[in-house]
Amino acid sequence: GAPAFTQDPERVDRLRREARLLASLNHPHIAAIYGLVETAGEAPALVLELVEGGTLAARLARGALPLAEALEIARQMAAGLEAAHEQGVIHRDLKPANVMLTGKGAVKLVDFGLARSGPAGAEPDASTRSLTLEAQGTVFGTPGYMSPEQARGLPLDPRTDVFAFGCVLFECLAGGPAFGGAGALEVLARTLEGEPNWALLPGGLPEALRVLLASCLARDAAARPADMGAVRRALAALEAAGAAAAPPAAAHNLPLALTRFIGRERELAELKRLVGFARLVTVTGPGGCGKTRLALELARALAPAYPDSVWLVEFARVGEAERVPQAAAAALGLREETARPLAETLAEHLREKACLLVLDNCEHLLAPCAALAHALLAGCPRLKILATSRERFALAGEQDFPLASLTLPASEDPARLAQSEALRLFVDRARLVRPDWTLGAEATPVVARICRRLDGIPLAIELAAARVRVLDVAAIEARLDDRFRLLTSAGAPGAGGAALPQHQTLRAALDWSYDLLTADEQRLLRGLAVFAGGWSLELATAVCGEGRDEFEMLEQLTHFVDKSLVVVASGPGGEARYQLLETVREYGLAALVQAGESALRRDAHLDALLALGEQASPHLKGA
């Protein structure tokens, strides 16, 4: 008999409206829908155009497509989707199985059965509004092609098709999916939290095509092209530039930058020099200081110099030591071999290659990352490694590059302040959330004070700048006493998208470092927060020693310096003076209160200062 839904007049009426909507899509790259046939006692049926040929899925089963063929298919798909979007229709299930290839080389998009009307610039009329609202909060689509917002059951717009288009184009070029996995749940997890498997893409793709793919596959819909018209125009520009016949570009899996890189010219030049003669260079610094961004900018600049490419291995989401070689193998597109250590497979693959390997966020897996780096450098004479970590590996031949905060001039001259790296970063990120925002003469010293109080830490400055969407700069400055609540990613571009959890708030960046300490180290760091203007080795031992002598305290302070938590400088007479960055100190004070140790440590601080005063008193009389 007929399906149960045919007894529901509302659902049948909705099917009729859908048929009328889809029948309006008259375009050479969309399979035509001629109407709806209704027979008493039978299920209603759509009458579709007969398309002779096979699916793109069947073609891809034989492997990746040549670049020219992939771009031509992409151009036709984009044209069909653009026409659908202009009619307010979103496909929602674009995938190779729903792309027909005719014998004459034409593309026909089929199976708009999950399509839904969406925003097309005007309020939908009564005949289509129900389609717009239908099933919000319910997930439809195919894992591996549906966008993150579609997988979460959120309201959709044409950018969900842009994401699916990127997945299909990626598969055409790579011969495999952008987001693979053992099952639907793993595929969805990679779509929501991971990166496309860039290592699958062939070498020699035009850089502009990689840029287009990365923008289409951005997890944050706001970072994607606004619609398929923008994608089609980008493809046309590629064609006009002769992309299909372009000379090979150096292959790499480096992500594309979504924001401008501000300042750091001196650091880039120095790092480039160091990588020129050292085989292992480690960029170290506190959380949020810009280590990853600097390393990626350098890697992009150096990519043409490495004929066997540049590869990024990200460890921030790797939690277990044994998964370190697996992460490196995945980045390089290598498979684990039975009964053979993965490190050997990696070394053999890289043995004769002139390659730069970027190991990012190594601090929580320092020993296994160091072991991997040592093994690869020992067995691969042409390999170079650029690492980022809050602590160096301490390997023979390692060149450490401590990354300082962004610069601010001592001068209060507004013109000089406005040209500083810290203020330039603040202005650039503020304009991302408020394009009309300007740095006036009155605001300049306020922003300078904000940047100074944030120690010139790029992450903190970016998060503060994002608040200009809802606060003026004076209000932002006034709230810096509660900086850990103020400086979250709420309102920042891409918040909740690709950013790692430890990069989404200032507190999370410091939590990441704090959690890597032992309980004794955490207690000592909390205690050091009582020093407002720095301290000497003698004073630290008196206030926070708890049985440590000066040599033991020196060893611990050195450990904190290595972990980028304590800064050391020369005081009067050349004596070493130690200090916490103000942001780290504020974090430590909050932890001190939470641990119930504030009164104890402040009393010890007062006693030590009184003792110093008594020692100095005889020398001050008569002065």
Site of tokens 């010293």:
445
CB-count burial class (<10 Å; 0-12, 13-18, 19+) for 298: buried
Cα dihedral sign for 427, 452, 479, 492?
A: positive
**Joined tokens for residue 573:** 């007479």
Return the pLDDT at 169.
96
> H/E/C letters for each residue in 471-499?
CCHHHHHHCHHHHHHHCECCCCCCCCCCC
Considering only CA atoms, which of 103, 235, 115, 214 is closest in space to residue 166?
Answer: 214
Instruction: Give the closest residue to 465 by CA, choosing from 499, 495, 496, 498.
Output: 495
Task: Say what the pLDDT of residue 402 is.
Answer: 94
Contact 577, 571 (CB under 8 A): yes
What is the 8-class DSSP label of residue 430?
H
pLDDT of residue 293: 93
Which residues does residue 387 pair with via DSSP β-bridges, in sequence order? 282, 359
Tell me the C-alpha to C-alpha distance, in Å, between residue 399 and each of 84, 391, 393. Answer: 55, 12, 10
Runs of H (alpha helix) within 519-622? 519-528, 537-544, 550-562, 582-594, 598-620
Q: Phi first, then psi: what are they for 41, rounded to 5°?
A: 80, 0
- Active site residue ranges: 93
Question: Assign residue 137 a region: left if phi > 0, alpha if psi is -120 to 50, beta otherwise?
Answer: left
- Specify the pLDDT at position 251: 64
Instruction: List the structure tokens of 458.
Output: 């790029």
What does the pLDDT read at residue 126? Answer: 32
CA 331 to chain centroid: 16
What domains appear along the chain, each with residue ranges and CATH number? 57-245 (1.10.510.10), 265-402 (3.40.50.300), 414-507 (no CATH), 517-620 (1.10.10.10)
The DSSP output letter for 213 is: H
In sequence order, what are the beta bridge partners of 116?
90
- Residue 171 contacts residue 60 (beta carbons within 8 Å): yes
Residue 101, token pair as written in the block:
């290839």
Q: Cβ distance 395 to 370 under 8 Å?
A: yes
CA 447 from chain center: how many Å?
26
Q: What is the pLDDT of residue 174?
A: 86
The DSSP bridge pattern shows strands 310-314 and 355-360 to be parallel
Query: How much is the pLDDT for 35?
Result: 61
Q: For position 493, what pLDDT does the model report?
A: 52
Instruction: In whole angstroms, give the CA distance from residue 339 to residue 620.
Output: 75
End-to-end CA distance of the chain: 108
Residue 118 one-letter amino acid = G
In tens, the pLDDT along 343-357 reads: 889 999 999 888 999
pLDDT score, position 389: 95
Tokens 């009184």 map to which residue? 610
pLDDT (0 to 100) of residue 2: 54
Is the entire prediction scored with pTM above 0.75?
A: no
What are the mean pLDDT values of the chain's consecutive 10-residue runs (623 residues total)? 58 66 73 66 63 83 86 93 88 91 82 52 32 44 91 91 96 88 83 81 82 92 91 88 55 78 90 92 92 93 82 89 90 80 90 92 94 95 95 94 86 84 92 88 91 90 90 91 73 48 69 88 92 87 88 91 85 81 87 90 84 66 50
